[in-house]
Amino acid sequence: MPSVLITGATSGFGKAAAMRFAKAGWSLILTGRREERLKALESELSKQVPVLTLTLDVRDSDAVTKALGELPEQFLPLTCLINNAGLALAPEPAQKVDLKDWHTMIDTNITGLVNVTHAALPLLLAQGEGASILNLGSVAGQWPYPGGHVYGASKAFVQQFSYNLRCDLLGTGVRVTDLAPGMAETEFTLVRTKGNQEASDALYRGTTPLQAEDIAEQLYYLATLPAHININRLEIMPVRQAWSPFNINRDPE
């Protein structure tokens, strides 16, 4: 039975991915910081497949290394790693942002991803051909926008880290993909605005954003491609989202 490790599995893309892979019969290793949500997900999905939940902060390298070094044999070798844990904070201009918010994004989106990947690599290499590392990037890593500052930069790291991993893993059979979603209706904006439901509702009002299930379906597709295929980067936007012209600062008339 193939197994998948999903970080940030308590909501959004991570939770939807857990449900999609469970539907296909994969064993699940689910991590997150909110234990009550993890246990609820375990209770639901363990009726279908083996589920192991790890209450874990990906920023804690020692805890990550210990947890992944002690996985039960029934979940090994590891077939797929989905590096989903991440967040955006502080949509204000850079000059108005609390430095702590920058550090939180760097520690989660970059350091956390590196911690998990480093600990999981031996498990994926044991699987070899057909194993996958699927990193959740963002269109923000490719296309800058006001208020993107460290969030966009952290997702640019995800893209380049993915590409460089591909180089290092050549010949091992392990695949690496940067999956970069555009606008998606999840808890993302609630987290970014620190609980501002009105701001979240306004962002998605009157349009048709991606849903978490859309991204979960793409993750499953990537993980189940024939073993000789690697998609380096998959950028996905809703049809109703596109790029805008450059902003120009003009003198007042």
In a domain, 252, yes or no: no
The pTM of this model reads 0.96
Per-residue burial over 93-125, b if 16 or more Cβ lie within 10 Å, else e, is eeeebeeebbebbbbbbbbbbbbbbebbbebbe
Tokens of 138: 């963002």
Q: What is the mean pLDDT of residues 41-61?
A: 97
Residue 182 lies in a domain: yes
Q: Can you spell out the DSSP letters for 199-211? A: HHHHHHTTS--EE
Residue 172 lies in a domain: yes
83 close to 178: Cβ distance less than 8 angstroms: no
- Residue ranges with strand state E in 148-230: 175-181, 184-185, 210-211
Contacts of 156 (CB under 8 A, 6+ apart): 141, 142
Q: What H or E segment, with its residue span, contains residue 235?
A: strand 233-236
Asked whether residue 250 is assigned to any structural domain, the reply reads: no
Residue 202 lies in a domain: yes
The number of folded domains in the chain is 1
Catalytic residue among 151, 163, 220, 221: 151
Q: Is 221 a catalytic residue?
A: no
pLDDT tens per residue, range 93-136: 999 999 999 999 999 999 999 999 999 999 999 999 999 999 99
Amino acid 240: pLDDT: 97
Query: What CATH code is carried by the domain that includes residue 97?
Result: 3.40.50.720
Query: Whose structure tokens read 């949500």?
Result: 37
161 belongs to a structural domain: yes
Which pLDDT does position 129 carry in this prediction?
98
78 close to 122: Cβ distance less than 8 angstroms: no
Give the per-residue pLDDT at 82.
98
Place of tokens 């993302």: 188
Instruction: Identify the weakest region by mean pLDDT among 115-119, 121-125, 139-143, 194-198.
Output: 194-198
**Domain assignment of residue 241, yes or no:** no
229 in any annotated domain: yes
